[in-house]
Amino acid sequence: MQQPWWKQSTNSARRTIGRGDQKSMKISLLGLGLMGLPIALRLQQQGFEVFGWNRGAGRADEAQRQGLTVTREAGHAVAAADLILLALSDLDAIRSVLLRPEVKRELAGKMVVQMGTIAPAESRSLAAAVQQAGGDYLEAPVLGSIPEARAGTLIIMAGGTPENYTKARPLLEALGKSPRHVGNIGQGAALKLAMNQLIASLTSGFSLSLGLVQAEGLDVDLFMSLLRSSALYAPTFDKKLGKMLRHDYTRPNFPLRHMIKDVELFRQVATADGIDPTLTLAISAILERSRQAGHGDDDYSALYEGITADS
């Protein structure tokens, strides 16, 4: 009797993993959301054999339309692969998929690469669960959004053993030009939270200044011209300016509700590390005000509405 396709894929993959041409590794990506799908398609375009899985049928159908092989069962996706790439929203989502008994038993001898934004302690607990199941674990959160995923220019911050980083490096180099091994498990997650907190702070600070400029009737072009010529300027300001001026935050690269989650994670970790989290409380209040105004699924730059709602 012929084996199911995912078992056939696993058998052929096991003969090639660890050899020189590591593009022969078979990869399953769990989570075909805003970042997961372009990451999967990028890897496929770079010559990797990629399987995809998503909880919701809509994104799975879209992935199939774009040429990705999709399975409706997470266990089948894991069974088909040598390397499992996670692009899920948070630890609860990861645990509900990866650590289900029928999925977890397929992890033995395989590597899990976690690319989402979770807390350092969460990453370490996930690593322990994967290792207990007989698998290897590497965290590799990214800085960048959909355009960078499509172009293979994500900034990748990997945490884990040097050996696991080396094994995953061909995949990481297909997604980012200069992936970095930043330290142990948890340190990549911490660095990602530090970066996302800075994104939230920069965008909030820019929104405050832009709100004052507009409220006082100043010319926005004059403001931006002076800002661009100063040491205060960050390119993200121009990326988000048009959305704020048009009050149009549709087609998000990163939704505001995810930023709310990441700022709260940063606050929890900073508090545990003895760092004053007061600034994050103010940013969280702005973000929450924007979500209550209906912008939870919009681009995170919609936090401008939370700042200027009374102007």
Instruction: Select from 184, 210, 242 the last residue of a domain.
Output: 184
For residue 67, what is the domain's CATH number? 3.40.50.720
Split into its structural domains, the chain has a count of 2
Instruction: Give the domain-ending residue among 184, 213, 237.
Output: 184
The encoded tokens of residue 284 equal: 């969280």
Q: For residue 240, what is the domain's CATH number?
A: 1.10.1040.10
Q: At what angle do helices 36-45 and 57-65 cross, to 10 degrees?
A: 20
Strand boundaries in 180-259, DSSP class E: 180-183
Token pair 């929450």: residue = 288
In this structure, are 159 and 11 located in the same domain?
yes
| CA 173 to chain centroid | 16
pTM here is 0.90
The pLDDT score that the predictor gives to residue 311 is 65
Single out the residue of 173, 111, 162, 156 nearest to residue 137, CA to CA.
Answer: 111
Structure tokens at 11: 């058998």
- Are both 240 and 178 inside the same structural domain? no
Question: Is 15 in the same domain as 163?
Answer: yes
Beta bridge partners of 106: none
Is residue 163 located within the same domain as residue 59? yes
Domain boundary among 184, 206, 230: 184
235-246 pLDDT, tens digit per residue, is 999 999 999 999
Q: Are residues 178 and 272 in the same domain?
A: no
CB-based contact 78:102 (threshold 8 Å): no
Check whether residue 250 and residue 297 sit in a common domain. Answer: yes
Structural domain of 95:
5-184
pLDDT of the chain along its 311 residues, tens only?
445 545 555 444 433 344 345 677 899 999 999 999 999 999 999 999 999 999 999 999 999 999 999 999 999 999 999 999 999 999 999 999 999 999 999 999 999 999 999 999 999 999 999 999 999 999 999 999 999 999 999 999 999 999 999 999 999 999 998 999 999 999 999 999 999 999 999 999 999 999 999 999 999 999 999 999 999 999 999 999 999 999 999 999 999 999 999 999 999 999 999 999 999 999 999 999 999 999 999 999 999 999 998 76
